[in-house]
Each structure stands twice: as structure tokens, then as C-alpha cells.
């Protein structure tokens, strides 16, 4: 009996809404755009956060990066041309050795030095970065070996003139030849190409060496660190742009791979303490990807709350619109309410009828809004470079809120209709 009565009430509510199709549709628009904006904004925020976290993860959760950093006061003096001597700063080979032997929980230490040179093969010449490093670089930093091999311990021990190049450089320097069958020229020396790699994380994003004008991100050549020290000297001396000063740097970056995450959390302060003892000025920076990842996750939660709150305002506006229309409907149907009460309808029947109408408006608008909210992020991704991710929880939250809006904002008009005096309602014109 109760089920039949409820179904009849729902049918009556839908029939009442269909009598004013345009008004009902315009009332639903607030909910539709509200739900759509909640899902779309959370999808954009989730995509942006995911992209940032993926970039941090590429650095390695178990890794700690230490970069050479030019001191700010020295930079100002260089710009003013106050001094003529070379500025010595940054990490040293001794620092790398101390880090490996002193810090507990260290698995591997991979130093890197960056030389910006033009690389030549035949008539082709490409500006790139020559990166001197150790054979353990791939397993610490992460690269995919496309062809050939990476540097080995014998290359490092014998200071071999061999190199590994990126896919992009191979394509630009050897458009019609097999790179593994040729040697390329760097400065005055020739280096046999022994491998081609695809990097998961470009060194340009990890170093302070900067990028040459017009140089693509994947123009990188890897040579043994010992070869780099022999061919280019123990200390790299580079003329600072627009200045009379030169800069002397031994290592541009040292990547430390720790044994586990617990070791990473304790090593940060130990590394800073050790480096402060041997560096008179802060000419380095310590980057802990694990800490950056956790900070990014906290930022993501805050970002989602802010975006969701902003988008929820439109749902609030839609709810107010529903309340406004339902109050006007109650006024229009006052005589109908009086007739129904006179025929025996109870207050809860009147409340249920008007509440059903508001819930139908909000849930119907919510369903349409969900469809638009799922489609909109894909349209945004298609026409822009923004990455969007639609999550199940964002769809569920937006839809549930739309239903709650219908109940909350429809309760007052429904109650007001039920409280009308039957005799006064029958007299209403």
C-alpha cells in the first residue's frame, strides 16, 4: 500500500513538472552546470597534481639530489663587475667521496658534470650537453637503453673515448646513418657511439648548467666521468655571460641512492650538516624528491578542496533557484492544495509531493551534469595540453550533493505547502 502510494506521488510530481517543461528545464540548469563544474574542475586539478607527482617520482623516491648553486651574493658582484677573479663554487669530487663513506644507508653515489659543447658528425653540428658520469647512472636515475649499451666499469677505468647518446640527438646528428657504426667529435676528440638511450627524466631539468639557445631537451651525450676529467680538466671553467668573471665548478650534481625510504628521511639533515662543514657559503642545494612528493600530495588535497568549494557555489546557486521556483509553484497551486486537503490528503502527502518534485529536478539535473562533467575534461584535454583525470569519487560526490541540494532546498517549500490552512487555500484565487 505504501509503495503504491509513493509511486503515485512520484508520478504526480513528474506530471506537475512536465506541465511547465521550460521552467523545469531552466531550474535544472543550475544543478546541471553545478555538477558539471565540480567534476570538471576536480578532474583538471587531479590531472595537474598527477602530472606534477609523476615528474617528482621520476627523480626517484629513494634518491637525494644535491646540485651546485651559485651563491646569490657572488651573482650580484659578478653582475656589477666588481671582481675579476674566477668564482669557485659548487660540489667537489671530495664531497661525493665523503657522502658515500659518511652518510649511513647510502647505496650508490652518482656524480655528474655538465659540459656545453657543439657535437659534430660529418657536416652536422648540434649544440648539446656532454654529461660525465658513472656506469651506475641508468639504475639510479632511470633510462631505457634503446640500442647498444651504457658505459661500463672498463670505460671508466681506462678513460675510454666512448659515448652514449639520446634518441633525439641520434636522430638529429645521424639522420641517415647507424650511430653505432660511427664516432662523433666533441671539442678536439672523437668518441665512439656505443649506445642510444631514451631518458625518463631529462638532465636539463635536474642541473644548474642551463640550456644553450635553441638546444632541444634531449640533446645529451654521456661519457665516462674519468674521461671527462681528462679531456676537459679537473675543474670546468666557464665565462659567465655578460661578465668579466669566470666560474669554476667541479661537479654540477650528485645523486645519492639510499637503501630505503627510512634512510632517505634521516639522510637530509645529515647531508646538510656534512656539507656545511666543508663549504664556507651555501653553494649547493639539497633536493629530496620524497619530501617534494609528500608536499605535492598535501597540496593536491588542498587544491581539490579549494576547487571543489568554488564549484560547489554553483550548486548552491542552483539549489536557491529550485527553492525560488518551488515557492512560486506553491503560491500558484494553493487552491489545488486546498482541494487535496479537503478530499482527505494529509500534510505528509502534500510535503512528499512537493519534495518529490524538487528531488526529481535535482537528481535529473545531476545525471545530466554528470554526463557533461565526464565529457568536458576530455574536451579540455583535446584542445589544450592540460592533463585531466576524472575520478569515481568526484562523480559520486557531485551527484550525491545534487540530490542533497534537492532535499535541503525543497524541504522548506514543501513544508510551507503542507502548513497551508485548507479553508484559506480553497478561498485563494
pLDDT digits (tens, 9 = 90+) for 60-114: 778 888 998 887 765 545 544 544 456 788 898 999 999 888 888 888 999 999 9
Share of the chain above pLDDT 70, in %: 82
Side-chain-side CA neighbours of 289 within 13 Å: the count stands at: 22
3-class DSSP string for 122-160? CCEEEEEEEEEECCCHHHHHCEEEEEECCCCHHHHHHCC
- pLDDT for the residue 204: 40
Segment 368-386 shows an average pLDDT of: 86
Q: Is residue 279 part of a domain?
A: no
pLDDT digits (tens, 9 = 90+) for 228-251: 988 887 666 665 555 545 678 889
- pLDDT for the residue 237: 63
Side-chain-side CA neighbours of 413 within 13 Å: the count stands at: 28
- pLDDT for the residue 304: 73
Domain shared by 378 and 419, yes or no? yes
- pLDDT for the residue 55: 67
- pLDDT for the residue 209: 39
- pLDDT for the residue 131: 93
- pLDDT for the residue 3: 65
- pLDDT for the residue 214: 36
Q: Is residue 276 part of a domain?
A: no
pTM: 0.62
Domain shared by 234 and 310, yes or no? no
Q: Is residue 222 part of a domain?
A: yes
Domain shared by 328 and 421, yes or no? yes
Domain shared by 147 and 177, yes or no? yes
Is it the case that residue 216 has pLDDT exceeding 60? no
Q: What is the phi/psi pair of residue 209, to 5°?
A: -75, -20
pLDDT digits (tens, 9 = 90+) for 322-365: 888 888 877 777 777 777 777 777 777 777 777 888 888 888 88
- pLDDT for the residue 201: 54
Higher-confidence residue of 404 and 7: namely 404
Q: Is residue 273 part of a domain?
A: no
Segment 37-42 shows an average pLDDT of: 84
Q: Range of 32's domain?
A: 2-54+295-427
* 371-405 residues labelled b (16+ CB within 10 A) or e (exposed): ebbbebbeebbeeeeebbbbeeebbebbbebbeeb
What are the residues facing 248 on neighbouring strands? 88, 237
Is it the case that residue 194 has pLDDT exceeding 90? yes
CB 268, CB 223: distance < 8 Å: no
Q: What is the phi/psi pair of residue 113, to 5°?
A: -130, 140
Most confident of 22-31, 218-227, 242-251, 344-353: 218-227
CB 284, CB 91: distance < 8 Å: yes
Is it the case that residue 210 has pLDDT exceeding 50? no
- pLDDT for the residue 337: 74
Is it the case that residue 118 has pLDDT exceeding 50? yes
Instruction: Quote the mean pLDDT of the chain.
Output: 80
Q: Is residue 177 part of a domain?
A: yes
- pLDDT for the residue 153: 93
Q: Is residue 275 part of a domain?
A: no
Residue that is last in its domain, among 237, 259, 281: 259
Domain shared by 100 and 237, yes or no? yes
Residue that is last in its domain, among 259, 281, 305: 259
Is it the case that residue 155 has pLDDT exceeding 90? yes
| Angstrom distance (rounded) from CA 368 to CA 195 | 54
Distances in Å between the Cα of 111 and the Cα atoms of 250, 379, 421 are 10, 44, 86
Domain shared by 25 and 71, yes or no? no
Q: Is residue 105 part of a domain?
A: yes
Q: Is residue 277 part of a domain?
A: no
Domain shared by 105 and 42, yes or no? no
Domain shared by 71 and 204, yes or no? yes
Domain shared by 50 and 88, yes or no? no
- pLDDT for the residue 85: 58
Q: How confident is the model at residue 427 (pLDDT cuts 50, 70, 90)?
A: low
Residue (of 255, 252, 262) closest to 290 by Cα position? 262
- Neighbouring CB atoms inside 10 A of 164's CB total 28
Domain shared by 243 and 333, yes or no? no
Most confident of 143-147, 193-197, 317-321: 193-197
Segment 256-280 shows an average pLDDT of: 85
Is it the case that residue 213 has pLDDT exceeding 50? no
Number of folded domains that form the chain? 2
The string of DSSP letters for 248-259 reads: EESBSEEEEEES
Residue that is last in its domain, among 231, 259, 287: 259
Domain shared by 239 and 172, yes or no? yes
Domain shared by 170 and 311, yes or no? no
| Angstrom distance (rounded) from CA 202 to CA 204 | 5
Q: How confident is the model at residue 310 (pLDDT cuts 50, 70, 90)?
A: confident
Most confident of 32-41, 151-160, 194-203, 352-361: 151-160
| Angstrom distance (rounded) from CA 139 to CA 167 | 18
Is it the case that residue 34 has pLDDT exceeding 50? yes
Amino acid at each position: 500500500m505504501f509503495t503504491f502510494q509513493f509511486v503515485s506521488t512520484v508520478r504526480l510530481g513528474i506530471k506537475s513538472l512536465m506541465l511547465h517543461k521550460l521552467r523545469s528545464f531552466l531550474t535544472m540548469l543550475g544543478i546541471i552546470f553545478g555538477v558539471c563544474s565540480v567534476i570538471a574542475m576536480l578532474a583538471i586539478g587531479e590531472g595537474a597534481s598527477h602530472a606534477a607527482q609523476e615528474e617528482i617520482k621520476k627523480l626517484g623516491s629513494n634518491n637525494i639530489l644535491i646540485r651546485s648553486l651559485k651563491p646569490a651574493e657572488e651573482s650580484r658582484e659578478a653582475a656589477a663587475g666588481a671582481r675579476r677573479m674566477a668564482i669557485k663554487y659548487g660540489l667537489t669530487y671530495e664531497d661525493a667521496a665523503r657522502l658515500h663513506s659518511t652518510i649511513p644507508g647510502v647505496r650508490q653515489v652518482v656524480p655528474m658534470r655538465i659540459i656545453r659543447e657543439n657535437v659534430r658528425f660529418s657536416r652536422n653540428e648540434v649544440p648539446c650537453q656532454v654529461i660525465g658520469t658513472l656506469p651506475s647512472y641508468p639504475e639510479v636515475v632511470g633510462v631505457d637503453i634503446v640500442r647498444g649499451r651504457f658505459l661500463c666499469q672498463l670505460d671508466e677505468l681506462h678513460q675510454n673515448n666512448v659515448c652514449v647518446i639520446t634518441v633525439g640527438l641520434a636522430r638529429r646528428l645521424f639522420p641517415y646513418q647507424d650511430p653505432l657504426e660511427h664516432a662523433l667529435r666533441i671539442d678536439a676528440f672523437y668518441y665512439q657511439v656505443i649506445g642510444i638511450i631514451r631518458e625518463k627524466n631529462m638532465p636539463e631539468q635536474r642541473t644548474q648548467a642551463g640550456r644553450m639557445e635553441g638546444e632541444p631537451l634531449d640533446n645529451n651525450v654521456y661519457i665516462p666521468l674519468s674521461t671527462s676529467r681528462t679531456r676537459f680538466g679537473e675543474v670546468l671553467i666557464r665565462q659567465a655571460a655578460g661578465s668579466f668573471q669566470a666560474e669554476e665548478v667541479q661537479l654540477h650534481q650528485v645523486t645519492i641512492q639510499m637503501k630505503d625510504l627510512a634512510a632517505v628521511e634521516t639522510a637530509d639533515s645529515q647531508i646538510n650538516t656534512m656539507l656545511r662543514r666543508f663549504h664556507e657559503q651555501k653553494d649547493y642545494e639539497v633536493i629530496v624528491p620524497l619530501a617534494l612528493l609528500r608536499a605535492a600530495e598535501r597540496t593536491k588535497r588542498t587544491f581539490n578542496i579549494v576547487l571543489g568549494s568554488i564549484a560547489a557555489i554553483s550548486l548552491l546557486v542552483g539549489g536557491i533557484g529550485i527553492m525560488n521556483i518551488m515557492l512560486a509553484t506553491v503560491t500558484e497551486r494553493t487552491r489545488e492544495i486546498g482541494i487535496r486537503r479537503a478530499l482527505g490528503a494529509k500534510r505528509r502527502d502534500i510535503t512528499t509531493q512537493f519534495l518529490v518534485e524538487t528531488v526529481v529536478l535535482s537528481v535529473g539535473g545531476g545525471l545530466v551534469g554528470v554526463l557533461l562533467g565526464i565529457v568536458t575534461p576530455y574536451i579540455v584535454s583535446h584542445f589544450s595540453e592540460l592533463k585531466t583525470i576524472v575520478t569515481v569519487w568526484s562523480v559520486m560526490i557531485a551527484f550525491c550533493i545534487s540530490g542533497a541540494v534537492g532535499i535541503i532546498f525543497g524541504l522548506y517549500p514543501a513544508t510551507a505547502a503542507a502548513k497551508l490552512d485548507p479553508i484559506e487555500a480553497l478561498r485563494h484565487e
